[in-house]
Structure 1
Amino acid sequence: MNLQSLFKDFNPSKFVVHTCLLIFIALFALRLDQAVTWSYWCVFTPIWVWKTLVIAGATIGSYIWWRYPHFRLESEAYIHYKSMLISLALHLILLMFELLVCDKLESGRHLWILVFIPLIFISIVSIAVCIWAVKHDRSFELELFCAVNVLQFIFLALRLDQFIHWSWEVVFVPLWIVMCLSLVGVLYTIIFAGILLRTPEVNAHQRRKGFQSAVGYTFLVIPILIFQVLLANKLDNDITITYIAVVSPLFVSFVTLILMSFSAKGGNRWWFGIRKDFCTFIRLSIGWFGIRKDFCTFILGACPLLQEYANIAYHSERRTNGVEMQQTEKREHNVLKKADLLKPVLPIISIEMPD
C-alpha cells in the first residue's frame, strides 16, 4: 500500500471534526432515548476533544510562528496564520455555546434564547469571514453553514422557549430552503458528471473526479434531507420512532464526509505547526525530542532488520539551509548503503518523502 499517495490529499482537520460529530450525534441520540443515562457532560466528550485539539493546535502553531521567524517567509504564510486565528476565535465562541447547551440540558436554569446568543453572533460574524475567505481563497465550510442558518437558529431558540407555537415543520422553513438549494447543487453535479462521461475529449482523471463528486454530494445531501423530515415528524409526534432511528441517515452523511476528507486537500499549514504536510510535522516532533534526522531514516537506522522484513529501499531527498554535521551525513550514508546491499525477495518499493 502506498501510504504517501493515500494521504497525499488528506485533510486531518475535516477528518477529526466529522469523526467527533458522528460519535457525538450517536451518543446524544442514545441519551435522548434513555438508552444510556450518562451526564450530558460525558455525552459531549467528542465535542470537548474536538475543541481541545483546536486550541492545542492553534497554540503550538502560534509558538512555532513566533519561535521560527524564517517560516514566515513562505508564500501566503500570513494568510494561513490569520486564517488559523480567525478559525480559533470562532471555535472559542462556538465552545461557549456548547457549554451553555450542556449546562441548560443538565440544569435547565437558562432560557434557550440566551444559550443561542453566541451561535447567532457567530452567524453574523461568519458573513464577513466568508467574504474574507473568498477574497483570499480560503475554505469556509463552518462559516458558511452558520451564515446561512442565522434565521434558523433564532426560530429554534424561540420555539424551544415556547415564545412561538408553530409546528416544527414551519420552524424548519429556513432549513428547507437551504436543502432545496443543496438539492439543486446535487442535481448540477450529477448532470455535469454525466456530461463528462459522455465527452470523449475529457481524460479519465476528470471523469473519475466528476463521478466521485456526484456520488459524494448525493450521499451527503439526501440523507440530511431524510433526517430533517424524520426529525420534524418526530417532534410533532406524527411518528413514533426512536431518536437513534431519526439520526441514522446522518451516519451515512458523516461517513461520506469522513471518506471525502481523504481527498479534500487544503488544511491550514499552521495547525500544530504543520507547515507543509504531515511528514513535516513528524520531523518537527522528532526534533523536539533531540533526534535531528528524518523520521523514516531514524526508524530504519534504529531497526536495520526492518528494512529486510518490510523489503523497503528508502531514499531521502532534502534541501540544506546550511552546513550539516559531517558525522550525520556519514551515518545517513551508511544507512542507505546497507539498504542497497540487501537482497530483496520481492520487488523493491520506493518511498519518496517530500521536504
Structure 2
Amino acid sequence: MKGRILLYCAVCFCMSPLANAEDQILPSVVALDMAAIKNEGITVTFAKSGKVSRILPVISRVMPDTTRLVYIHSAGSGKVLDVLVQPGTSVHKGQALLRYQDHSLHGARLQAIQMRAALTAAIASRNDAAAAVLRAKQLVGQTLSLAELRRRQDILAQADATMRARQADVDTLGHRFNEEFNSSSEQSSRKQQDEVSTLISPVDGMVQTLDTSVAADLTPTTNVASVADLSDVWIVSDITPEQAARLQPGGLQTTETNDGAITSRIDTVDGMANPQTGLVRVISRVSNPTGVLVPGMVLDASLTERDSVTGMVVPSDAIQKIDVHNVVFVQVDKTHYRPVMVNIALDDGKHAVVSSGLKEGEAVVSHGSFALKSIIGLAGMDAD
C-alpha cells in the first residue's frame, strides 16, 4: 500500500492536463520511480509495421481421425462367447476384444484334413506313375513297346498335374489360415480340436463402438467394433458458408484446452454445406501423443481468416480504454511515459493493428499499461 501511495504522488506532480479535439483530458506524462516500475512489472515493446489477420471464434469438438479408425470384422461365422472391452476402453495393439465360437474355423480345419489326404494320395499316384515310366524305359524294345512307354508318360504327366492342383489347394487354405483366421485383428486357437477365435485390436487406441453381446451371432459382414488410433485426432468446427468463405486450408487454428493452447493448421474446409444443418465442416489434424484429447470433447477455438489488416502492430495488452478512446503509453525515458490516443484497425486478442497515432519503433508499454491507466484514474478522482 505504501508503494502505491508513492507511485500515485509521483504522477500527481507530473500532471500537465492537455485537451484534444474531443476535449478529452490526459496528462502530458506519467512519471514512475524505478521501485514502482519494478513493482508493477512494466515491460516495453516496440511498435513495428506488420499485418494481423482477423480471428473467427468457434466451438470445436474432438473426433477420431477417420484414416486411423479401424473397423473390426470376424473372419468366420459363429457365436460370441466373451466380450472383453467396452466403448471408451483404452486398448493396446494385440489386446483381446472378444472371443467367439468359430464354426467356419471348424469347417476349414476339416477341409484342410481332406485336402492334405488328397495331396498325399496324389503324391503316391505320381510316384507310382514315375516308377512305371522308369520300368518302361528299361524294357522298351524288349518286352514293352514304345507306345506303352508313351502311354505311361501321359499317365505321369496327368499325375503331376493332379499333384500340383492338390498342393495348390493345400497352400490356398494355408494362406486363409495365416491371413484370415490369424491376422492383425484376429487369432485362432492353435489346438486342432478348439474352434475358438479371438478378435484383437490391430492398433494402440480406444474402443469407439461395440455392436455385439454374449451369445450374439457373428458373420464376416458384421461390424463388431471400431478402434481409433488417437495419436492424431481431428478438431472439427461447424461454421456458416459465409464464414467458411473467409478461411483457407493452411490457416492457423488455436484450440484452448485445460493444459494450454494447441496451435495447428486448418487441413480442410468442406466445399459444400451439410444439407441437414446448413453448416460447413472445418477440420484440423492435431498430434495427440499423450491422449489428452478424447473424442467427444468440446473446446473453444479460433480460426485465422485469410484477410489481414496492415499497420503498426503492438501487443493487445498495450491498448487501454480511457473513456471512449484507445490509449497506449509511449516510453519517454526510463521513468516517464506519455499517454497517446490511437485508432485501432484490428485487435485479435493477442496483437492489435494501430492505424494512426504511433510511429515505427516507438517504445510502447505492454505489460503494466493497465497500472498506468489506473494511476491516471486515481489522479483524476483526486483532482475532483
Q: What TM-score results when the alignment is normalised by the length of structure 1?
A: 0.20
From the two aligned structures, give the one with the greater helix fraction.
Answer: 1
Q: Which has the higher contact order (CA 8 A, sep 6+)?
A: 2
From the two aligned structures, give the one with the greater strand fraction.
Answer: 2
Q: What TM-score results when the alignment is normalised by the length of structure 2?
A: 0.19
